[in-house]
Amino acid sequence: MNKQSAIATPSRTKELLNKYRFTFKKSLGQNFLIDVNILKKIIHHAGINENTGTIEIGPGMGALTEQLALHSNQVTAFEVDQRLIPVLQDTLTAYKNVSIIHQDILQADLVDIIKQKFTPEQDIKVVANLPYYITTPILMKLLRDHLPVSSITVMIQKEVAARMAAKPNTKSYGSLSIAVQYYTEAHVVMSVPKTAFMPQPNVDSAVLHLTLRKSPPVHVIDTGFFFSVVQACFGQRRKTLKNNLFRYFEDSFSREEIEERLQQAGIDGIRRGESLSMEEFALLSNTFYHPSDK
C-alpha cells in the first residue's frame, strides 16, 4: 500500500470526515493521527511482526489499525464511539485480519476476549493512541488484569509518559512511576509533534513502551497496602516522609511508633518520597504492614 492511499494522511482523513459528516468529540479526547511515518515508527518500537496478535484501543478512523493489519497477524480493536463503527467497517474492509469490538475498554473482559481472538501460543501486544483524559485508568486496568501480553506501546501525553518512566530524584518521579514500573519496564521511545494529529492537541505527545515483567521487581506482603503507602509518601511532595506518614497513619500509629518503624526499616524520616527507590518503598510498606493494624 503506498503512502498516498493510507488512512493516515491529511487528505484522506478530511475526505472521511466529510463523507461521514464526522465531528470530533472533546469528551472522548479524539485526535486522529495523520502521519504514516510516525505510525511505522510506532510499529517498529512495538516489535510487531507477522506472527504478533495485537490489541488496539480507540482506533478512530483506522489509521493505526491499518498499519497493524499490514504488519501483524491479527488485530482486535476496541472503539467506544458508535459513530466510528461504520467508518471503520469502510476503511478496513480490505483487511480480513481485523476485528472491531464496540465496547469501552474499561468494561471489557479482556482475558476472555483474548482467549476468543488469539491462539494460546501467540505473542500478544497492545498498541494504541490513547485518549489523554483516560490514559492512566486504561493502563492500570491493562496491568492489573494480568493479561497474557508481552508489551504495551502507547501514544500518550508527553508529560504523563515522562512520569510513568521516571527514576528516583527527578521532578517527574511519583506514585504513578512506581505503579507502572512495579508491573513493567518503562521507556519513552519517541516524541511526537502536535502536527501529526487532526485536530492538533494542546499538549505534546510521546510514545511509551512498557515491557511486562514476569514477576514484580520487589517482594511486598500486600500489594494494595504497598501502593497506599507509596501514595501516602507522595501525598504532599514538599513534606518529609515522616510528616506524610503521620498524616496517613494518624488513626493507626502514634508519632513515636511511626518513627520507630522508620528506624526499623533503616529509612531516614526526613527524606522525601521522590528520593526513595522501589526497593525502599517495599521495605517501608512491609515494615508498616501487620494485618492486625489494618
C-alpha 82: how far from chain center: 23
Is 50 known as a binding-site position? no
Q: Is 18 annotated as a binding residue?
A: no
Annotated binding residue at 58? Answer: yes
Question: Could you tell me the three cell numbers for 215?
Answer: 514477576
For residue 269, say whether it is annotated as part of any ligand binding site: no
- Hey, which residues does 190 pair with through a beta bridge? 207
CA distance 224 to 37: 41
Residues 6+ apart with CB under 8 A from 105: 57, 58, 78, 80, 138, 141
Nearest-5° Cα angle at 25, 163 to 63 = 70
> Which conformational region is residue 250 in: left (phi greater than 0), alpha (psi within -120 to 50 degrees), or beta?
alpha
The partner residues of 98 in beta bridges, in order of sequence, read 75
Residue 97 assigned as binding residue: no
Q: Is 31 annotated among the ligand-binding residues? A: yes
* Cα distance between residue 101 and residue 74, in whole Å: 14
DSSP-based three-state secondary structure for 129: strand
Beta pairing, strands 205-212 & 151-157 = antiparallel
Question: Per the annotation, where are the binding residues for S-adenosyl-L-methionine?
Answer: 31, 33, 58, 79, 104, 129
Binding-site members are 31, 33, 58, 79, 104, 129
